[in-house]
Amino acid sequence: MQDNLLEYSWVATGVVLALLAVTILWRVYLHYSHKKSYQPGQLIKAQYDALNSLVQQKPVANKLEDICHLIESQIDGALCSVMLKRDNSNSLRAAAGPSLPRPFVSALQDLEIADGVGACGTAAALGQSVIVRDMRLDERFEAFLELIDEHNLVACWSHPIFHAREERVIGTFAVYFRSPKLPTTLDLEFLVRTRDLVALVIEQQELALQREKVEQHHKSLFAYNPQPVFTMDSDGRFISINRAGCELLKLHEHELIGQHYELAVVEEDRERTKEHFEEAKRGNAQSYEIKVADKLGHIYDLDITNTPIIIDGEVTGVHGIARDRTEQRKNEAQLKVLESGIEASVNGVVISDANKPGFPVTYINPAFAKLSGYSFDEMVGRSCRILQGKDSDRKTVHEIRKALHERRQVKTVIKNYRKDGSTFWNELLISPVKNRAGQVTHFVGLQSDITERINKEETLEFNATHDTLTNLPNRKALEKHLASALEREESAVYVLFIDLDGFKPVNDSLGHYLGDQVLIETADRLKNVVLGPNLLCRFGGDEFVAVIENASNKEQVAAFCQEILSVFEQPFQIEGKSVSLSAAIGVASNLAAFNHPMELIQRADVAMYEAKKRGGNSWLWYESKLDERLSFHVALRTQIQEALQHEQFELFYQPIITAAGRIAGVEALIRWQHPERGYISPADFIPVAERTGQIVPISDWVLRQACRDLERLKPYGIGSMSVNFSPIQFYRDDFIEKVKSTLKRYEIQPGELTAEITENVLVHDTQRITELLEQLRELGLDVAIDDFGSGFASLRYLNSLPVNKLKIDRSFTENINENAQNAAITRGILKMVKDLRIQVVAEGVETEAEFAFLAEQGCDYMQGYLFCRPKPLDELLEWAERQQSLENEF
Ligand code: C2E
Ligand code: MG
Ligand code: MG
């Protein structure tokens, strides 16, 4: 607006100057002119026309023509033309020539500016007036001869037109005559002044064009501005408002013009807006935020800039630009919520720049700072790589890097390092963040410390593959290890099945806690012998398995077994108690084409079992003939259980005879009539039952049944019953109590019951066994050592043990009459026990010769097939009856 006014004042000044110039021109001309032909009336009219033309809003061509007419009216025969320099071209075009022939003017539409090109081309080129009296004689018109001849033009006076302020030629002003002619000084003066008038007109035109342009610019800026733009008068009423402003307020321009801005501003912002408005009016530009409401009541957040409108040094109103920040504010509010959410999150959040090398961190939340030990300042700008260390899995690191470079999400778990060097398991979810254009600008990493969970999983994994007591690999790990060893087929694989001899009684007598200590120490001792690449594991209970892969031949394996046995040579010191143990080892190898881990283990187990049967403290190679026993024993475990439930057991009785041939008593021997397999020998199932612990309920049943049957034997003069006790019974806490209650229940008198125990009972923890035996004696039981001479016991014990009977093992009775060695041993035993008041029973007497020999040697009691095989009670009773009647006969 202001600019427009300035423009107008410029034009007005130009016009006033022009008037002045022409008036002076006219006076000067009049003063010097003596020519009658200059008509004052004509000149005044021409002058009026020219001035009128100048102040009018006419096209510039018309204005130039008016000036031409002014000249033509004053100089006789003059035909005037104005040529203007073309923009961006070194040529002139005819802008006016109202009296010249049209074809002539048309021919001058592209006249080159150059010295020698007619009068105008030369004048424009040199910047000097060119006066030609007769063009036909001037070589500069050679090219135009035809043209000037055609139009009968002869003289030409051309003057360069200079820009009013800049020293440059903008065109030419020329006068043509139809006869040769030279100008007078006055003519020249007049022409030069008029030429200046032309310059003024042209400049006026230029200014008008410029003004037009500026106005257009301003208009565009206002109208097409996407931001609301408006002007207000000094009272705050809208003078103008652009389309964006109307659209924002949902009102038409005519509804707004003349309205006070308060119409739109929400009430609570009005006071503040007023303060800013007044300040802008004082000449100080203002920027502030307000809320406005549109016609429908929707609220918008606007940033307002107010500037004063100053015209002629006076503030006439206020200009305003508004920026709609509603969306931005909403986003900002949302961002705030998000930000506080991230700040408060228990998970670590890291944001990094996706477009810088190493993806430097731009943000971490407090949870991450806590997790990693790095503060915000320490972390920002650095790569997350500082969280990695030597224990960070290379594969995972590679996986993360690959995903980052491919700009895709990655979820993984990696071991990271805190600032203090400690490690933690980091569960990571890294996601790319895209801008509106879809380009990845950042990565957001969610991190959680799952160390506890991983540790738990590791423990679970360890526990799943390890035995918790000894920390040795367990059965599962063994099978896995063995499977891969067998698969490799690199070398011979030997499996050593190691089972402790007599651990069960130890465990039962010492209690499980101390039993565990024994197993831990056993594991430790074995670990010292079974070294990598060989594997040692606990198979279960007191069973250990060693997998040997570095033995090149059987001899080495044998030596190895010997070494294992030797670790038991030293007694175990458990809580001040000394416990002696040994082991039985069974060995099987894949050389015998056992290629399934379990197959190999079972074969080694069979061999171990055989080694144990042979007395333990030894090792044995697996042989195929042992196989039959394997399936037999495996099945036996379950079948014993069934036998107990379905009362398949039965007691047979075998009499014990005095040297005089009388029945001294009977021994109860268990029999198992299996419904499908028929008779199963106690020699087969008793050891199995001892290993499984099933011997305890079996023994209980035997004792009860024997006591019950004793009632039926007594009428036949049989008042003594021998019952076999298993070592396992001795290690049960309620052992004595149970015996005691049975005795009570069946009213067993002292001397009526004999407990037969094997020597093995005495091997471990002699002290405790002695006490138990004493307790049995106190209950009125006799105690017999069964199978004497076959085991480890020695005669040394006999005087210190509460034992009053001894049964010489059948192996010494065999052929005693012929076998000198057996005879010597038996004689020795008999001699020794004589003074100890121990009764001796010789087992397995089968022949008269054996009987005779033993009787001669002073053996008081005998047992064997010679006298009677073990029989069911009824049969025995019959036998006893027969015996009685025989005796009576004699
Ligand atoms: P044992 O206590 O030494 O029993 C004697 C074994 O010798 C019996 O074998 C018997 O049948 C056998 N026998 C007796 N006279 C002769 C003979 O002249 N020649 C031969 N060759 N053998 C003879 P059986 O009944 O097979 O019992 C074997 C072992 O099983 C018993 O040896 C005993 O240790 C155990 N046993 C038997 N019944 C029970 C029981 O109820 N409880 C416990 N814990 N063990 C039992
Ligand atoms: Mg016996
Ligand atoms: Mg025996």
Q: Report the pLDDT averaged over residues 252-257.
A: 94
Cα–Cα distances in angstroms (integers) from residue 673 to residues 644, 645, 654, 679, 881, in the given order = 12, 14, 18, 5, 26
Tokens of 617: 């403290």
pLDDT score at 683: 87
Taking all residues of the chain, what is their mean pLDDT, rounded to a whole number?
87
CA of 726 to the centre of ligand 3 (A): 12
Does 2 score more than 50 pLDDT? no
CA of 125 to the centre of ligand 1 (A): 150
- Pairwise CA distance, residues 455 & 448, whole Å: 14
Could you identify the atom of ligand 1 that is nearest to the CA of residue 681?
26
Tokens of 751: 């001397």
Q: Nearest ligand to the C-alpha of residue 683?
A: 1
Tokens of 526: 């074995």
**Closest protein CA for atom 13 of ligand 1:** 844
| pTM for this predicted structure | 0.43
Does 840 score more than 70 pLDDT? yes
Could you tell me if 82 and 66 are in contact, meaning their C-beta atoms sit under 8 angstroms apart?
no
Q: Nearest ligand to the C-alpha of residue 808?
A: 3
Does 92 score more than 60 pLDDT? yes
Tokens of 857: 């040697």
- Pairwise CA distance, residues 111 & 665, whole Å: 161
Q: Check the CA dihedral 784-786-792-794 and report its sign.
A: positive
CA of 278 to the centre of ligand 1 (A): 125
- Pairwise CA distance, residues 233 & 253, whole Å: 16
Does 3 score more than 50 pLDDT? no
Query: Buried (b) or exposed (e) across 432-464, using 16+ Cβ within 10 A?
Result: beeeeeeeeebbbbbbbbebeebeeeeeeeeee
pLDDT score at 535: 93
Assign 271 a pLDDT band (cuts: 50, 70, 90): very high
Could you tell me if 592 and 622 are in contact, meaning their C-beta atoms sit under 8 angstroms apart?
yes
pLDDT score at 66: 85
pLDDT score at 630: 60
3-class SS of residue 698: helix
Does 49 score more than 80 pLDDT? no
CA of 783 to the centre of ligand 3 (A): 13
Length of the chain: 890
**Closest protein CA for atom 7 of ligand 1:** 844
3-state DSSP: the chain helix, strand, coil percent, rounded to 5? 50, 25, 30
CA of 784 to the centre of ligand 2 (A): 9
3-class SS of residue 438: coil
- Pairwise CA distance, residues 80 & 675, whole Å: 150
3-class SS of residue 135: helix
Maximum CA extent, the chain: 210
The count of C-alpha atoms lying within 13 angstroms of the C-alpha of 160, restricted to the half-sphere facing its C-beta, is 19
Assign 94 a pLDDT band (cuts: 50, 70, 90): very high
**Closest protein CA for atom 19 of ligand 1:** 844
- Among 180, 177, 183, 118, CA closest to 153: 177
pLDDT score at 300: 95
Q: Check the CA dihedral 789-790-793-797 and report its sign.
A: negative
- Pairwise CA distance, residues 33 & 40, whole Å: 11
Assign 568 a pLDDT band (cuts: 50, 70, 90): very high
Does 459 score more than 50 pLDDT? yes
3-class SS of residue 433: strand
Q: Nearest ligand to the C-alpha of residue 871?
A: 1
User: What is the DSSP secondary structure assignment for residue 86, as one 8-state letter?
Assistant: P
- Pairwise CA distance, residues 535 & 494, whole Å: 11
Residues with beta carbon inside 6 Å of ligand 1?
A: 654, 668-670, 681-683, 686, 699, 702, 724, 726, 756, 786-787, 810, 843-846, 863-865, 870
396 exposure class (CB count in 10 Å sphere: 0-12, 13-18, 19+)? middle
How many other CB atoms are there within 10 angstroms of residue 284's CB atom?
Answer: 12
Query: Of the residues 701, 705, 708, 724, which should be mutated to test ligand 1's pocket, given the most ligand atoms within 8 Å of the CB?
Result: 724
Could you identify the atom of ligand 1 that is nearest to the CA of residue 870?
11
Of the ranges 45-49, 182-186, 777-781, which one carries the lowest mean pLDDT score?
A: 45-49
Q: In the chain, pLDDT over 90 holds for what percent of residues?
A: 53
Distance of CA 860 to the CA centre of its chain: 85
**Closest protein CA for atom 38 of ligand 1:** 669
Ligand 2 is an ion; its neighbours by CB within 5 Å are: 724, 756, 786
Does 9 score more than 60 pLDDT? no
pLDDT score at 1: 42
Q: Report the pLDDT averaged over residues 256-266.
A: 94
Tokens of 339: 């930000």
Query: Of the residues 805, 843, 851, which should be mutated to test ligand 1's pocket, given the most ligand atoms within 8 Å of the CB?
Result: 843
Does 631 score more than 80 pLDDT? no
Could you identify the atom of ligand 1 that is nearest to the CA of residue 865?
18
Could you identify the atom of ligand 1 that is nearest to the CA of residue 866?
18
Cα–Cα distances in angstroms (integers) from residue 255 to residues 242, 250, 263, 734, in the given order = 13, 10, 11, 109
How many other CB atoms are there within 10 angstroms of residue 556's CB atom?
Answer: 13
Distance of CA 432 to the CA centre of its chain: 14
Assign 31 a pLDDT band (cuts: 50, 70, 90): low
- Pairwise CA distance, residues 387 & 392, whole Å: 9
**Closest protein CA for atom 33 of ligand 1:** 724
Does 110 score more than 60 pLDDT? yes
**Closest protein CA for atom 16 of ligand 1:** 844
Tokens of 423: 């490690």
Could you tell me if 730 and 772 are in contact, meaning their C-beta atoms sit under 8 angstroms apart?
yes
pLDDT score at 35: 47
**Closest protein CA for atom 41 of ligand 1:** 670
- Radius of gyration (C-alpha) of the chain in whole angstroms: 66
CA of 699 to the centre of ligand 2 (A): 13
CA of 442 to the centre of ligand 3 (A): 88
- Pairwise CA distance, residues 108 & 339, whole Å: 76
Assign 208 a pLDDT band (cuts: 50, 70, 90): confident
Could you tell me if 83 and 94 are in contact, meaning their C-beta atoms sit under 8 angstroms apart?
yes
- Pairwise CA distance, residues 396 & 416, whole Å: 11
Assign 138 a pLDDT band (cuts: 50, 70, 90): very high
CA angle 174–179–184, rounded 5-degree value: 60
3-class SS of residue 151: coil
pLDDT tens, position by position, 712-765: 999 998 999 999 999 888 878 889 999 999 999 999 999 999 999 987 777 666
Q: Report the pLDDT averaged over residues 189-198.
A: 83
Does 20 score more than 90 pLDDT? no
pLDDT score at 36: 42
CA of 758 to the centre of ligand 2 (A): 8
CA of 682 to the centre of ligand 1 (A): 7
Beta bridge partners of 426: 414, 449
CA of 757 to the centre of ligand 1 (A): 12
**Closest protein CA for atom 37 of ligand 1:** 669
Q: Report the pLDDT averaged over residues 318-336.
A: 91
Assign 15 a pLDDT band (cuts: 50, 70, 90): low
Three-state secondary structure string covering 521-550: HHHHHHHHHCCCCCEEEEEECCEEEEEECC
Distance of CA 872 to the CA centre of its chain: 75
pLDDT tens, position by position, 358-367: 999 999 999 9
Q: Nearest ligand to the C-alpha of residue 809?
A: 3
Could you identify the atom of ligand 1 that is nearest to the CA of residue 809?
3
**Closest protein CA for atom 15 of ligand 1:** 864
pLDDT tens, position by position, 347-387: 899 999 999 999 999 999 999 999 999 999 999 999 999 99
CA of 724 to the centre of ligand 3 (A): 9
Q: Nearest ligand to the C-alpha of residue 651?
A: 1
Could you identify the atom of ligand 1 that is nearest to the CA of residue 706?
41
Q: Report the pLDDT averaged over residues 831-850.
A: 88
**Closest protein CA for atom 5 of ligand 1:** 843
